[in-house]
Structure 1
Amino acid sequence: MPLGCLFVGKCREAALRDAAELYALKLSRLARCDFVTVKDAPAACPPAEKPQREGRDILAKLPAGATPVLLDERGETWSSRELAARIKAWEDAARTPWFIVGGAFGLSDELRGRAKNGGAMFSLGRITLPHELARVVLLEQLYRAASINKGLPYHHD
């Protein structure tokens, strides 16, 4: 099950970085997963322009043929089992989902358009999470989905 994760910015908080690394390691034991990080837009960049600058960098790093799955508050909420089923469906269709977590100022409209035309928009819920915490939650959910798809007992109904 190939997956990709593309993150904006380094995880600066040690506890969140450790948690992200833990779930990335656990996930890597169950699935092939590529991880890519792009730099945050410069601090001097106006906040309204940051998503566009970061979006260009994301698109430049997104592999050809990737299925972009944006973590976005406007996206659909999926249960862990629904996420697992979607990953399985992408795998069966020989598509590689790339889960994208934007920076502190969100994602560009260009990325949203790309996700709407051949990808997906996924929301972790109606709450707002810092992007570093969203990274941890995403990685845990990808690990959980891989466990579900492998029939392992990590997920309890």
Structure 2
Amino acid sequence: MKPLRFLFVGQAKAPFFRQAEDHYLDAVGHSIATVRVVVKDARSGNPDDRKKAEGKAVLERLGARDFPVVLDGRGKMYDSPALAARLGVLVEDPGRAPCFIVGGAYGLPDEVLARAGEVVSLGPGTLPHELARVVLLEQVYRAMAILRGAPYHH
């Protein structure tokens, strides 16, 4: 199995978000290798300029075999069993390497969404990007538990 890549814009600022992110990355890592890639967030400029700069940095970190799964509120929503089934397909595909992408405070530009193999939503509400990262990691951990038949998902 290929490692799961998580490509995030900016470091989590609050210690509790960093701790939760580390916790779930470690938990997922017991089932499958994980790689966290953090691109620098743009600290100045208007929101559109920031999104463009961050999007460019994200696209530069993607490889030809990466299958980008981009988080965006307009994406497809999965329940936990469906996400597990989808993740199972992605990690077993020898031609693609799943890479989950979470943008910064202003989201991601259309260029990143256009490169996405899939666009996924965590729900109809808007989440701060730091919380979205933690929720994504927890859902991936839950999906891996379902695939392993572990009792975490009940």
Say if 2:151 is the partner of 1:153: yes
TM-score w.r.t. length of structure 1: 0.93
Q: Report the RMSD for the aligned CA atoms in angstroms.
A: 1.0
2:19 aligned partner? 18
1:89 aligned partner? 89
Report the AA paired with residue 49 of structure 1: D
> C-alpha distance in 1, partners of 2:105/2:4?
23
How many pairs does the alignment contain? 152
Say if 2:40 is the partner of 1:42: no
Deviation track 1:86-132 (CA, whole Å, cap 9, x = no partner) reads 111112322211000000001010011111xxx10000000000000
Alignment of 1:52-67 (within 5 A): 52-67=52-67
2:133 aligned partner? 135
Report the AA paired with residue 59 of structure 1: L
> C-alpha distance in 2, partners of 1:24/1:91?
16
- How far is 1:33 from its partner? 1.1
- How far is 1:24 from its partner? 0.6
- How far is 1:50 from its partner? 1.2
Structure 1 ranges of 4+ moved more than 4 A:
none
> C-alpha distance in 2, partners of 1:63/1:32?
18
> C-alpha distance in 2, partners of 1:10/1:91?
26
- How far is 1:64 from its partner? 2.4
Does the residue aligned with 2:6 lie in a helix, a strand or coil? strand
Alignment of 1:95-114 (within 5 A): 95-114=96-115
Greater shift, 32-41 or 91-100, is seen at: 91-100
Greater shift, 137-146 or 89-98, is seen at: 89-98
- How far is 1:63 from its partner? 2.5
Report the AA paired with residue 58 of structure 2: I
> C-alpha distance in 2, partners of 1:63/1:34?
14
